[in-house]
Amino acid sequence: MIKKIIQILLCALMMSFALTGTLMAAEKVKPNYEFSELKEVRSVRNSEVSGWGAWTDQVLLMSGSPGRKYLVILTRPDHDLAFSLNLAVTNSGGQIMAKFDKVYAMNSAIKVGVPIKKIYELKGKEQIELAKKLVEKAEQDAEEANNKSEG
């Protein structure tokens, strides 16, 4: 009987160590999408929005009035965004607001909204190109940090 209890405890202990190792390995550096070079805005009028496009699974480009676009940063990645033809967004009193509204990938069977973390206003092609470079750099920095921690 004691032998059986010891076997069960050892098995539980080994599973605990395996699970801890898996959880620690899963913790990865995430891209930092804080861009002081861009103008952050709290909200955008819903009537201004004419389209959306996913840059990454956490970053969207929202088309606004002519010559104006918005970089939308979500609080977490949503892997359905890249495959979704349609996106939906909540709005508050006709305004799409950072830290309040959510984006939904409409192709997903279970629609889970991802809160908007930040909105940056982009005026002109130069700022759009700058935003692309900043997003790419944030992604590369996170990937390099993760590669270093694995190696």
pLDDT band, very low/low/confident/very high, at 13 (cuts 50, 70, 90): very low
Would you say residue 74 lies in a domain?
Answer: yes
| 18 occurs within a structural domain | no
Average pLDDT for 61-80: 91
Residue 140 lies in a domain: yes
Whether residue 28 is contained in a domain is answered as no
Assess contact for 90 and 64: CB atoms under 8 A.
no
| 6 falls within a domain | no
Residue 70: is its pLDDT beyond 80?
Answer: yes
pLDDT of 125 reads 92
Average pLDDT over residues 52-70: 90
7 belongs to a structural domain: no
Tokens at 13, concatenated:
């202990």
Residue of 79, 65, 70 lying closest to 42 (CA atoms) = 70
Q: Taking the C-alpha atoms of 10, 16, 19 and 25 in order, what is their torsion angle to the nearest 10 degrees?
A: -110
pLDDT digits (tens, 9 = 90+) for 87-127: 889 998 899 999 999 999 888 777 889 999 999 999 999 99
Residue 66 has pLDDT above 90, yes or no: no
Domain that holds residue 113: 39-150
Structurally, the chain folds into a number of domains equal to: 1
pTM, two decimals, is: 0.79
Q: Tell whether 30 is covered by a domain.
A: no
Decide if 62 is inside a domain: yes
Q: Rounded to the nearest 5 degrees, what angle is found at the Cα of 72, between the Cα atoms of 70 and 75?
A: 165
Find the range with the poorest average confidence among 64-68, 114-118, 131-135: 64-68
